[in-house]
Amino acid sequence: LPATGLPGLPLLTDADLRTGEVTVLNFWASWCPPCRAEHPVLLDMAERGIRVAGVNMMDKDANAVAYLAEDGNPFFGVATDPDGRNRVEWGVTAPPETFILAGDGTVLFRFVGPLVGTDYETRFVPELEKALSEQ
């Protein structure tokens, strides 16, 4: 993960992804309409006690902070990838992309696109439920 974060928000670190708990890691940007569409789903996950972390990519810090202040912040920690270099290491081409990580940080599942609709319900939700039940 990049070692930079958003002003005023907790920084997401590699250690945060290896706490022994399942984590949902979301790559997002404030300028991304599909990211905005899935945002209520992320807020709901966080409200239900699921660990949700974020990597803000190719965005301006001020825009990202304003977006989270306006629409709510589901993330317990946020890292930033302003030039998009870190996303390449994760294989992310464009936001949003979401990963389900095991408690040791291992990627269990990768979901490309927004967490909405039938594809999300039939592919992502069962994988998340499985990961949480095995935690």
In a domain, 6, yes or no: no
Look up the pTM and report it. Answer: 0.96
Report the Cα 19 to chain-centroid distance in Å: 16
Q: How many domains does the chain have?
A: 1
In a domain, 3, yes or no: no
Report the CATH number that the domain containing residue 50 is assigned in CATH: 3.40.30.10
Any idea of the CA torsion for 91, 92, 97, 102, to the nearest 10 degrees?
Answer: 30
Provide the residue range defining the domain that includes 57: 14-134
The pLDDT tens digits along the chain (135 residues) read: 888 899 999 999 999 999 999 999 999 999 999 999 999 999 999 999 999 999 999 999 999 999 999 999 999 999 999 998 889 899 999 999 999 999 999 999 999 999 999 999 999 999 999 999 998
Q: Strand 107-112 to strand 97-101: parallel, antiparallel, or no bridges (unpaired)?
A: antiparallel
In a domain, 2, yes or no: no
Distance (Å, whole) CA 52 – CA 25: 6
pLDDT in tens, 93-129: 999 999 999 999 999 999 999 999 999 999 999 999 9
In a domain, 109, yes or no: yes
Distance (Å, whole) CA 21 – CA 39: 22
